[in-house]
Amino acid sequence: MRLFQSGPMPDKRLTLAHGNGGRLTRELIETIFAPAFNNPDLDTQSDAARFLLTGASMMTTDCYTVDPLFFPGGDIGKLAVCGTVNDLSVSGAVPRYMSVNFLLEEGLEFSVLESVVTSMAEEARSNAVSIITGDTKVLPKGMVEGMYIVTTGIGSQICADISISNICSGDNIFVSGSVGDHGAAVFLARAKYGLQGSLQSDCASISVLAAQLMGIPGLKFMRDPTRGGLATVCHEIIRSCKLGVRLVESVIPLKPEVQAYCDILGLNPYYLASEGRIVFVVDDQVSIDDICGISDDIHCIGKIEEGHGNLVLQTDIGGTRIIPELDSDPLPRIC
Amino acid sequence: MRLFQSGPMPDKRLTLAHGNGGRLTRELIETIFAPAFNNPDLDTQSDAARFLLTGASMMTTDCYTVDPLFFPGGDIGKLAVCGTVNDLSVSGAVPRYMSVNFLLEEGLEFSVLESVVTSMAEEARSNAVSIITGDTKVLPKGMVEGMYIVTTGIGSQICADISISNICSGDNIFVSGSVGDHGAAVFLARAKYGLQGSLQSDCASISVLAAQLMGIPGLKFMRDPTRGGLATVCHEIIRSCKLGVRLVESVIPLKPEVQAYCDILGLNPYYLASEGRIVFVVDDQVSIDDICGISDDIHCIGKIEEGHGNLVLQTDIGGTRIIPELDSDPLPRIC
């Protein structure tokens, strides 16, 4: 019989009772959620929290199931807050309030939850977003993989002129940095594939840049190229506006590592998710140089064309290639 | 080789590609979500939807993981809409807008999803709530059990005087119908226990009743006794107000079937979830008869007492019994 255990204490783990609404749920709120998300609008006593938004507002929601929970450049918590902040930002709104749902697996280590919650709280604070209400479910082992998070954000609309329906032939398309970093970094982080590298996810808030872009008079449309990547944003434009899109391969910013992983795995990098970029469309009367002057990393990558209904890539070797709408899923659980 | 298949066509099933943001995600939105949730505020083209709320507002969110997805008296879709409508209603708000997240298991039948979505749409419509935005994730088989749903609701605050902190010694506690029906009905619906009966869940919107109760001048607090049941609402009062609660067993409405199942399984019915009831607290200056006159099914079930910190049940046989805060989970995945 060993009286003293050597090595670190075993980590405390979540039980089903942490999600039953009773004593342990309360303790979870009191010890982890309330201290981290502390803000004047947080209400842990009621079933609903009070907020105040005047004028036209926007609402968005997203579910995050990324595997693994921690990846180079971020974790599921940072991703969940940035994702919702970014969806509001590219829709012309200033993010203000957020709700959070945790779906947790029985047996998950407290330290993992704490780390994710800390990351969410920091990201919310740096975006001046108040997490005001939430819900936690603990599911029997095997019915969630680790943790899924849902964030729902609301904010004030400050720019009502952004709409996919404004886009017309001749407009220029821009991107605010290299594409596909997040998708490739998460994929790399899956140890089972045995790949290694220094690539980081681009996971970040783009709210400041979005606000700057709203100052461009001819701005027509912004979208963050997450699930389905740059190609999917282009196809949304094509379908919605009954137009065509032409991208120029040589000017689309792509990290060599991302290109290399795509080559190894037979993936198209334009389908890979970014989590800190904006794809945007501007009237061609606005000088491309002026727009690219806003930041070092803004690139004009193509044009909207008359309605041929295709995404055409002008390749480096001088030809053209059609990139179809994404069909089968190359990388599930990337966000 | 059989050219013609006899019997019904095999049901179409969800694939991972239905959640990748590409063609099949779009088709899922176009064929199932958009037609069902059709309303002027629904925005399936943008990452965020526009809404307008003036003055003080409320926000709530909840995750639904009920097992099984369909149970006598409702399904996960009705439950998800009612739950969020009810959380806003008991917080003194009129529900107006909602977002919906679906976490779906690869292989789920389309017919199951369609049935749940139809049920959500009907319940939202009958509550004058617009589902304006949403998100869908399809997870690899085994990483979700069938379907989980998150609903986030926002609405206008119409009664700012409801707060747990208003409660004081002497106040009366009421409930708007029998307790524990939902918990027992869901439990019964789990075929693995081999129990049968005619019990239905009480799953329903309580927004109309909540609005009526807000007309009572001495109304102090309302809560829907979902996860953790009546006992958990009482313990929230006890902890928050540093008071005691005395319930009278003989006057707490309880269906004989619910009592019978609890007896068989050794469960306390006051921990079982209701999904269409309100527990509320009123100043003792207001006539109990007047309050019970609002509906046939309102019952005064006890009183708030000086600060002994316990939930005391005055039993049918003349004694008293302490009901502790819920600890281990008797029935996971009830809502």
pLDDT tops 60 at residue B15: yes
- Of A65, A240, A328, nearest to B17 by CB-CB distance is A328
Q: If you ran DSSP here, which 8-state letter would residue A36 be given?
A: H
Calculate how close chain B gets to A6, using CA atoms only, in Å: 30
More confident: A326 or A328: A326
Q: Which residues of B touch A134 (CB under 8 A)?
A: 61
CA distance A277 to A204: 8
> Is residue B213 within 8 Å of B286, Cβ to Cβ?
no
Best CA proximity match to A302, nearest among A328, A319, A286, A284 = A284
pLDDT tops 50 at residue A1: no
CA distance A81 to A94: 14
A52 backbone dihedrals φ, ψ, rounded to 5°: -135, 120
pLDDT tops 70 at residue A6: no
Element (H, E) at A121: helix A110-126
- Of A101, A133, A223, nearest to B47 by CB-CB distance is A223
Yes or no, beta carbons of B60 and A47 under 8 Å apart: yes
> Is residue B269 within 8 Å of B259, Cβ to Cβ?
yes
pLDDT tops 70 at residue A4: no
**CA of A150: how far to CAs of B80, B130, B228, in Å?**
15, 20, 23
Best CA proximity match to B107, nearest among B77, B136, B140, B135 = B140
* Nearest residue on chain A to B46, alpha-carbon basis: A91
> Is residue A239 within 8 Å of A164, Cβ to Cβ?
no
CA distance B191 to B268: 21
Pairing of strands A279-282, A172-175: antiparallel
> Is residue A250 within 8 Å of A316, Cβ to Cβ?
yes
**Range B5-24 average pLDDT:** 78
CATH code of A16-157, in short, is 3.30.1330.10
Yes or no, beta carbons of A232 and B22 under 8 Å apart: yes
Q: Which residues of A touch B50 (CB under 8 A)?
A: 56-58, 157
Q: Which residues of A touch B223 (CB under 8 A)?
A: 47
The pLDDT tens digits for A176-215 are 999 999 999 999 898 666 667 789 999 999 999 999 999 9
Q: Which residues of A touch B137 (CB under 8 A)?
A: 63, 65, 148
On the CB side of A177, CA atoms within 13 Å amount to 18
CA distance A282 to A287: 9
Burial readout B152-189 (b: 16 or more C-beta within 10 A, e: otherwise): bbbbbbebeebebeebeeebbbbbbbbbbbbbbbbbbb
pLDDT tops 90 at residue A71: yes
**Range A99-114 average pLDDT:** 97
Q: Which residue has the tokens 């605050």?
A: B157
Q: Which residues of A touch B182 (CB under 8 A)?
A: none
Calculate how close chain B gets to A287, using CA atoms only, in Å: 27
CA distance B156 to B140: 39
CA distance A232 to A169: 18
Tokens of B170: 């002497």
Element (H, E) at A64: strand A56-64
The pLDDT tens digits for B125-179 are 999 999 999 999 999 999 999 999 999 999 999 999 899 999 999 999 999 999 9
CA distance A40 to A38: 7
Yes or no, beta carbons of A91 and B228 under 8 Å apart: no
Amino acid at B292: C
How high is the pLDDT of residue A191?
67
* Residues in contact with A293: Cβ distance below 8 Å, sequence separation at least 6, in sequence order: none
Q: Which residues of A touch B145 (CB under 8 A)?
A: 139, 143
To the nearest whole percent, how much of chain B has pLDDT over 70?
95
Calculate how close chain B gets to A64, using CA atoms only, in Å: 8
Give the sheet arrangement for strand A49-52, strand by strand.
Answer: A49-52, B56-64, B147-157, B93-105, B130-139
Query: How many other CB atoms sit within 10 Å of the CB of residue A284?
Result: 15
Substitution target in A25, A44, A82, A135 with the highest count of B β-carbons within 10 Å is A135
* Neighbouring-strand partners of residue A88: none
Yes or no, beta carbons of A328 and B235 under 8 Å apart: no
The pLDDT tens digits for B228-273 are 999 999 999 999 999 999 999 999 999 999 999 899 889 999 999 9
Helix (H, G, I), strand (E, B) or coil at A299: strand
Kindly report the length of chain A: 335
**CA of A163: how far to CAs of A149, A225, B191, in Å?**
28, 16, 50
Yes or no, beta carbons of B17 and A142 under 8 Å apart: no
How high is the pLDDT of residue B4?
44
How high is the pLDDT of residue B5?
46
Domain ranges in chain A with CATH number 3.90.650.10: 164-322
Yes or no, beta carbons of A65 and B137 under 8 Å apart: yes
Calculate how close chain B gets to A183, using CA atoms only, in Å: 12
Query: How many other CB atoms sit within 10 Å of the CB of residue A175?
Result: 24
How high is the pLDDT of residue B3?
43
* Residues in contact with B68: Cβ distance below 8 Å, sequence separation at least 6, in sequence order: B186, B189, B190
- pLDDT confidence band for A11 (50 / 70 / 90): confident
Substitution target in B14, B15, B18, B47 with the highest count of A β-carbons within 10 Å is B47
Helix (H, G, I), strand (E, B) or coil at A274: coil
Yes or no, beta carbons of A154 and B59 under 8 Å apart: yes
The alpha-carbon radius of gyration of chain A (Å, integer) is 22
Q: Which fold has domain B164-322?
A: Phosphoribosyl-aminoimidazole Synthetase; Chain A, domain 2 (3.90.650)
**Range A79-93 average pLDDT:** 98
Pairing of strands A130-139, A93-105: parallel
pLDDT tops 50 at residue A5: no
Domain ranges in chain A with CATH number 3.30.1330.10: 16-157
More confident: B316 or B115: B115
CA distance A235 to A245: 8
Yes or no, beta carbons of A228 and B22 under 8 Å apart: yes
Calculate how close chain A gets to B255, using CA atoms only, in Å: 23
Q: Which residues of A touch B333 (CB under 8 A)?
A: 139-140
How high is the pLDDT of residue B320?
96
Interface size A-B, in CB pairs within 8 Å, comes to 237
Pairing of strands B147-157, B219-223: unpaired
How high is the pLDDT of residue A68?
95
To the nearest whole percent, how much of chain B has pLDDT over 90?
81
The pLDDT tens digits for B66-85 are 999 999 999 999 999 999 99
Calculate how close chain B gets to A256, using CA atoms only, in Å: 25
- Of B56, B100, B132, nearest to A52 by CB-CB distance is B56
The pLDDT mean for chain B works out to: 93
**CA of A109: how far to CAs of A13, A73, B89, B180, in Å?**
4, 21, 35, 32
Yes or no, beta carbons of B21 and A132 under 8 Å apart: no
**Range B49-65 average pLDDT:** 96
Q: Which residues of B touch A278 (CB under 8 A)?
A: none
On the 0-12 / 13-18 / 19+ scale of CB atoms within 10 A, A156 is middle
Yes or no, beta carbons of B54 and A54 under 8 Å apart: yes
Kindly report the length of chain B: 335
Best CA proximity match to A59, nearest among A158, A155, A161 = A155
> Is residue B128 within 8 Å of B36, Cβ to Cβ?
no
Calculate how close chain B gets to A192, using CA atoms only, in Å: 16
Output the DSSP codes for A134-202.
Answer: EEEEEE-TTSSSSEEEEEEEEEEE------GGG--TT-EEEESS-SSHHHHHHHHH-GGG---------
* Neighbouring-strand partners of residue A153: A60, A98
Q: Which residues of A touch B143 (CB under 8 A)?
A: 65, 144-145
- Of B53, B103, B333, nearest to A53 by CB-CB distance is B53
**Range B169-198 average pLDDT:** 89
The pLDDT tens digits for A255-298 are 999 999 899 889 999 999 999 999 999 999 999 999 999 999 99
Calculate how close chain A gets to B6, using CA atoms only, in Å: 30
Best CA proximity match to B136, nearest among A73, A63, A145, A237 = A63
> Is residue B178 within 8 Å of B253, Cβ to Cβ?
yes
> Is residue A97 within 8 Å of A132, Cβ to Cβ?
yes
**Range B89-105 average pLDDT:** 97
Best CA proximity match to B75, nearest among B227, B275, B261 = B275
**CA of A289: how far to CAs of A216, A224, A305, B113, in Å?**
12, 22, 21, 49
How high is the pLDDT of residue A327?
86
